[in-house]
Amino acid sequence: MTVETVVLTGAAGQVGSVLREPLRRRLRRLISVDRVSLVAEGANETVHQAQLAGIEDVMSVIEGADAIVHLAGVPDEAPLADLLDGNVLGTHHVLEAARRTGVERVVLASSNRLTGCYPAAQTVSAQMPPRPDGLYGVSKVAVEALGRLYADKFGLQVVCLRIGSLEPEPSEPRHLATWLSPRDCAGFVWGALTRPGITFATAYAVSANTRRFWELDDRLGYHPRDDAEAYADRIPEATSYFAGDQLQGGDYATADYTLRHAFDQRPTDRSSC
């Protein structure tokens, strides 16, 4: 699939910040969008400060694009109303705007936390039922369901990437299974944008970690190159962590994590995922 112009929502967030430069190198035009102010980093990048609060708002920035990488939303556990607004309704706005403007492919940011209540000892594939580790994971189940609907009913090409722990390098025991290096992140997203023959796909975006929890999927045509095991000697707690009876979500899967975050009514930052 030939892709020349891509819209990147949530461009100021953790994932978006990693993707801007590698996408810009490969595209004729990158349109970066966030609710906070951005500065164009190259002649082929256009930036927009926008809330994307409705379908028409999204349509105004995606007209003429070949594809969308949708990262904007609430990036962690939060009150359910915020998650439904920022993640579920926000995704619906993007998908419907894509349908109306003729954008063919949409890459949606899903999350590994959609399956965080599986045991760490079990290898999980994208075809297995969701077991979210919190309300954030629940919102990502809905995001994937919306993507499936728009692929089946309206013919959009939709790829849902269950993004791992995106960090410059692993810094805690769980990362030895869940780490996604910046290089592999860019590779998975490019595969999701350009792989031909996809109508709908869900795949884990995770580096080739020796201890990973999730099956890698060849459908996107990208094979990750990095392995968190190269950093294992810097994380002395790793042996005891993986010997224990852990859930894949780690601390995210505890009751306290949801109770502390989901019922805190302070305003939630919805800038990026």
Instruction: Supply the angle between the helices 90-101 and 55-62 in degrees, to the nearest 10.
Output: 50
Calculate ∠ Cα 59-61-67, nearest 5°: 85
Angle at 32 between CA 89 and CA 48, to 5 degrees: 80
Catalytic residue among 118, 136, 204, 252: 136
Residues 4, 24: contact at Cβ < 8 Å? no
**Do 119 and 248 meet the contact criterion of CB atoms below 8 Å apart?**
yes
- 3-class SS at 221? coil
Instruction: Give the separation between CA 157 and CA 195, rounded to whole angstroms.
Output: 10
Helix (H) or strand (E) holding 183: helix 182-194
State the first-to-last Cα distance of the chain, in angstroms, to the nearest integer.
Answer: 26
> Is the torsion defined by CA of 158, 65, 92, 80 positive or negative?
positive
Q: What are phi and psi of 19, to 5 degrees?
A: -85, -25
204 catalytically annotated: no
Q: What is the DSSP string of 10-76?
A: TTTSHHHHHHHHHHHHH-SEEEEEESS-----STTEEEEE----SHHHHHHHHTT-SEEEE--S--S
At 216, list the tokens.
């890698």
Catalytic site positions: 136
